[in-house]
Amino acid sequence: MILLDLKGNILSTSHKICVSNYSKDKFLSITISGLHWTDNFNLASCFDTEQEALEYTERPFVQDFIGDVFELLIWSDTRKSIYE
Q: What is the mean pLDDT of the chain?
A: 86
The answer to whether 28 and 20 have CB atoms below 8 angstroms apart is: yes
Q: Which ranges of 1-84 would DSSP assign to H, the alpha helix?
A: 50-57, 60-66
Amino acid at 67: G
pLDDT score of 15: 80
What pTM was estimated for this model as a whole? 0.78
Mean pLDDT for the stretch of residues 44-72 = 94
For the chain, the domains span 15-75
Q: CA-based Rg of the chain, rounded to a whole angstrom?
A: 13
